[in-house]
Chain A
Amino acid sequence: MHFGTVGGRKPSSVISTRADKDRGGEGRNTMKVTTTELRKATQLFALLWANSFFGAFFTRKIYKGPLKSTCVPFLNCHACPTATFSCPVGTWQHYMATHQFPFFVIGQLGLIGMLVGRMVCGWLCPFGFVQDALSSSTRQPLQVPRAWTYLRWVVLGLLVIAIPWITTEHWFSKLCPVGTLIAALPWVLWNPTDPDTGAKIIAPGSFGWLLAAKIAILVAILVVSRVVKRPFCRIFCPLGLFFSFFNKVSILRLEVAPGCDGCDACQKLCPVDIKVYEDPNSSDCIRCLDCTSCAHVTVGLRLPLGMPAASDRNQQDSPSP
C-alpha cells in the first residue's frame, strides 16, 4: 500500500504489501503484512468492538446502557445479545417510524463519509468480511449488471425511509441478513429464560414466516457470495449507498498514475470488481486499498483548504516499476 505525501515527492509506503516485497521493495519500510490481511484484522476487531457485551450471557438481556445511544458506522444489529452500540440503519428507521429527522445519525455518517468515503465498507464491516471470505479465489466471478445496483436506492427509499414512515415498522431490519446472522439466529439457537418473567425469551410457536424469509435471504446472499463478489454490498446495502455519495468529495482519495496500461490487475484484486483506472474514486469503490499493491495506484489526502490535489503532484513523478 502506498500513501501519498503532502510534500510533493513520490508517495512512500507506510505498509508494504506482499506484491511490493515480490518486486523488491528497496528502501521501503517493509512490514510483512498485506492490506487484505490487515483488513481482516480490522474487520474482526470491529465485530468484537461492536459486540463486546459478554455480560449478556449472565444477564440474558441485551445491553441498554449509554453506549447504545450511538451507532457504529456499519451494519451491526443492536438486537444481537452482545451488541454494545446501535445499528445506524436501524436507528435511521426508528426516526422515520417516529416521524423525526435523524440529525445525529446522518451527521455522524456524513462526517465519516467526508473523511474516508466508503472505507468503512472495506475495513470495518463484518458482513463484508463474511462475503469476502466466501468469495471463491479460483473461479472467475460473475458480473453484476449495472441496473441491479440501483436496487440499493429502492432498499434505502422504501425499506429504510418510506415504509417505516408509513407503517411505523422497521422493515429493513426485519429482513436484514446481518441482523439474521448476528441477532436472530443466536437468539433462536440460545433462547434463554427471561430472569424477570421466567418464560423463554422467544415464546414457543413464534417462529413464523418472517424468520423463514429472513433466513432464506441470508442463505441466498451467502450462496451467491461464492460466485459474485460482495453481492449484498453492491445490490442491497443502503448504508453502502449512503457512503458512496461521498467517495467523490472525501479527503481520502485514490489516484492512478499516468503510466497505467490498463492491465486489469486492479480489477482482479478488487472485492467489488471495478477497474480502478477508469474512475479511481468511483462510488462503487469500498476503499479497501487492495488495489494499491499495484504501483500505479496510490492513496492520498486532499484537504479542501488550498492543498494541491495528489493527482497534480504525482503527475511529475513516474511510477515505480
Chain B
Amino acid sequence: MSDEQNAPSQAETAGPGAQRGKPAVVIGLFVLFLAMIGYGIVAGNVFDNYENASNL
C-alpha cells in the first residue's frame, strides 16, 4: 500500500468535535445572513445614493 493510500482522510483528521460543530456554524451563518437581508429590506437599508455615485 502506498503512502498516499495510507494518508489520513479529512474525516479522520477533523475530529468528532469538528464533525458535530461545523453544521451548526454553517446553519447559523445561513440564518444570520438571511436575517440581515430581511432586516435590510424591512428597514429600507438598501442603496439609494447612486445619483451621486460618479467619482470622476
Residues of A within 8 A of B (CB): 62, 64, 68-71, 77-79, 86, 90-91, 94-95, 98, 100-108, 110-111, 114, 170, 173-174, 179, 183-184, 187-188, 202, 206, 210-211, 249, 251, 258-261, 304-306, 309, 311-312, 315
Contacts and interface: CB of A to CB of B under 8 A. Distances in A.
B7 A107 contact: no
B5 A258 contact: yes
Nearest to A302: B26
A188 B45 CA distance: 32
Contacts of A211: 56
Given A103-B36, A111-B34, A114-B29, A78 B43 contact: no
Interface of B: 4-5, 7, 9-11, 22-27, 29-30, 32-41, 43, 45-51, 53-56
Given A79-B50, A202-B56, A312-B9, 11 more contacts: A62-B51, A62-B53, A69-B48, A78-B50, A91-B47, A104-B39, A107-B34, A210-B56, A249-B25, A259-B4, A312-B10
A69 B47 contact: yes
Nearest to A172: B55
Contacts of A258: 4-5, 7, 9
A249 B22 contact: yes
A69 B46 contact: yes
Given A107-B35, A107-B36, A305-B23, A70 B46 contact: yes
Interface centre among A104, A183, A260 (most CB of B within 10 A): A104
B53 A90 contact: yes
B10 A110 contact: no
A104 B40 contact: yes
A297 to B, nearest CB: 15
Contacts of B36: 103-104, 106-107, 110
Contact of A94 (B34, B40, B47): B47
A98 B53 CA distance: 14
26 contacts: A64-B50, A69-B47, A70-B46, A79-B53, A79-B56, A90-B53, A102-B45, A103-B36, A104-B37, A104-B39, A105-B40, A106-B36, A107-B37, A110-B33, A114-B26, A114-B33, A173-B55, A249-B26, A249-B29, A251-B26, A258-B7, A261-B4, A304-B27, A304-B30, A305-B23, A312-B9
B54 A187 contact: yes
A170 B27 contact: no
Nearest to B5: A258
Nearest to A87: B53
Contacts of B26: 114, 249, 251, 304
Contacts of A105: 40, 47
Nearest to A248: B22
A187 B56 contact: yes
A114 B9 contact: no
A103 B43 contact: yes
B51 A64 contact: yes
Contacts of A170: 55
A305 B49 CA distance: 40
B56 A111 contact: no
A68 B50 contact: yes
